[in-house]
């Protein structure tokens, strides 16, 4: 248990520190992107490892040891593509959400990170009783991600709906396109290619708020915020779990 708590804490610090440095440096320069570099690398390696481990275990069970196919069908290309795709989705979304969370949102994100790592450790320990080791880590990553993500969806949705302040000019926009344009004005005055990449996300956020105002008090309002919360909850939970698993693998290699 102490080892699991340590791994969870290290993973949470890596993630939260990366996002904090990114948030602090972004208004000053596009070089703030460097703060996300180590996080992207760790996520890629953390996602790659379990995928390769599971594929190789399946190949060893299916292919005879003397067959040359065992050295050819390594699964490295597929695992690399999957890891790269996750990084391309997760890092921009985390960077966007990390720019302006209010204190309540930040606290929930921190709790989610810690809970995800702790649940991963518990699920993994339970699976070790029933499954062979090559299958344990991948299964534990998936199970713990879904458990934590689903548990936090209603919390994040409620906070986004009730405790997040949205600019009044977006609420008062005359149309969806007008709201999207006003949303892009929320970006920092300093322009750059990162700001241009984020512009559609801010436009989407503003358009969503405008639709919420139009639909209020429709039940679709809660559904709209829940969909957003579900996506971010899943990405943040999986990121935390992957980082915890990666720290754990390094811990094991060092013999601690």
12, 113 in Cβ contact below 8 A?
A: yes
Q: Which has more confidence, 180 or 29?
A: 29
Using pLDDT thresholds of 50, 70 and 90, give the confidence band for residue 78. confident
- Distances in Å between the Cα of 182 and the Cα atoms of 64, 194, 195, 198 are 62, 18, 15, 14
- What's the pLDDT score for residue 71? 63
Q: Which of 35-49, 122-136, 227-241 has the highest mean pLDDT?
A: 35-49
pLDDT at residue number 67: 65
Each residue's pLDDT tens digit, 87-121:
999 998 898 888 766 788 888 989 999 999 999 99
Q: What is the DSSP code string of the chain?
A: -HHHHHHHHHHHHHHHHHHHHHHHHTTT-GGGGGGGHHHHHHHHHHHHHHHHHHHHHHHHHHS-TT-THHHH---HHHHHHHHHHHHHHHHHHHHHHHTS--HHHHHHHHHHHHHHHHHHHHHHHHHHHHS-HHHHHHHHHHHHHHHHHHHHHHHHHHHHHHT----HHHHT-SSHHHHHHHHHTTS-SS--HHHHHHHHHHHHHHHHHHHHHHHTT-THHHHHHHHHHHHHHHHHHHHHHHHHHHHHHHHHHTT-
- Condensed to tens digits (0 to 9), the pLDDT of residues 134-190 reads 788 888 999 999 999 999 988 887 777 776 665 555 555 555 555 555 555 555 555
Report, as an integer, the average pLDDT of 54-72: 65
Residue 55 has pLDDT above 80, yes or no: no
**Residue 131 DSSP code:** S
The rounded distance, in Å, linking the Cα atoms of 120 and 122 is 5
pLDDT in tens, 191-241: 566 766 776 666 666 666 666 666 555 556 556 666 777 788 899 999 999
With tokens 């720019």, the residue in question is 99
Q: What are the angstrom distances between the C-alpha of 65 and each of 19, 59, 60, 61, 117?
A: 45, 10, 7, 9, 36
pLDDT attached to residue 256 = 43
Q: Which H or E element spans position 199?
A: helix 193-215
Comparison of pLDDT for 40 and 54, the residue scoring more: 40
Tens of pLDDT, residues 9-28: 999 999 999 999 988 888 88
- pTM score, two decimals? 0.80
Per-residue pLDDT at 255 exceeds 50: no
Q: What pLDDT score does 28 carry?
A: 81
């Amino acid at each position: 248990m102490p080892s699991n708590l340590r791994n969870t804490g290290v993973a949470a610090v890596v993630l939260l520190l990366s996002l904090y440095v990114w948030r602090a440096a972004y208004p000053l320069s596009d070089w703030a992107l460097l703060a996300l570099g180590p996080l992207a690398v760790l996520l890629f390696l953390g996602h790659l490892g379990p995928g390769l481990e599971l594929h190789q275990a399946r190949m060893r069970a299916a292919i005879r040891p003397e067959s040359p196919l065992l050295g050819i069908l390594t699964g490295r290309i597929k695992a690399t593509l999957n890891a790269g795709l996750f990084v391309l989705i997760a890092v921009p979304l985390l960077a966007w959400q990390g720019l302006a969370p209010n204190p309540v949102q930040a606290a929930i994100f921190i709790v989610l990170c810690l809970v995800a790592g702790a649940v991963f450790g518990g699920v993994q320990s339970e699976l070790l009783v029933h499954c062979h080791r090559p299958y344990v880590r991948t299964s534990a990553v998936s199970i713990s991600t879904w458990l934590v993500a689903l548990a936090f969806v209603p919390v994040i949705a409620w906070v986004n709906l009730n405790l997040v302040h949205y600019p009044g000019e977006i609420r008062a926009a005359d149309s969806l396109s007008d709201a999207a344009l006003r949303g892009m004005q929320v970006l920092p005055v300093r322009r750059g290619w990162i700001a241009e990449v984020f512009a559609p996300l801010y436009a989407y956020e503003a358009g969503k708020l405008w639709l919420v105002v139009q639909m209020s008090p429709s039940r679709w309002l809660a559904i709209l915020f829940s969909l957003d919360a579900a996506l971010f909850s899943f990405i943040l939970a999986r990121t935390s779990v992957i980082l915890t698993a990666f720290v754990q693998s390094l811990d094991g290699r060092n013999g601690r």
